[in-house]
Amino acid sequence: MKFTFAHNNINVLDIEKSIRFYQEALGLEIQRDKTSSDGSFRLVFLGDGVTGHQLELTWLRDRKEPYNLGDNEIHLAVVVEDMDAAHAHHEQMGCICYENHGMGIYFIVDPDGYWTEIVPKR
């Protein structure tokens, strides 16, 4: 029996703002977009155009309060070829939330407080 990754899901309060963030910050593009017939939820799947792995953004119409992310130790991670250009881009966006110079990595934070680790291609 073999399992392969399909997607990770995060719930967001403002789906349009989140889509724009992931498009600008990571170059992800919409692969699929589904709104329920009653408008109570919307699912947007974003992909990098290289791997099959997707990020699913879930918006729930009736949710108004921010999600409790606990200690926020769960995060996404992406690899980038040009770490300096990526860092400059994210610095300009103002979304860098933590840097570990010793490990050569940093994290960005999205509008809902979710972190993404930026790792240089090695």
CB atoms within 10 A of CB 77: 11
Query: Which is nearest to 44 in space by CA: 32, 36, 54, 28?
Result: 32
117 as an active site residue: the answer is yes
Query: Which is nearest to 19 in space by CA: 39, 38, 45?
Result: 45
Write down the catalytic residue from 24, 81, 91, 117: 117
Query: Would you name the residues annotated as active-site residues?
Result: 117
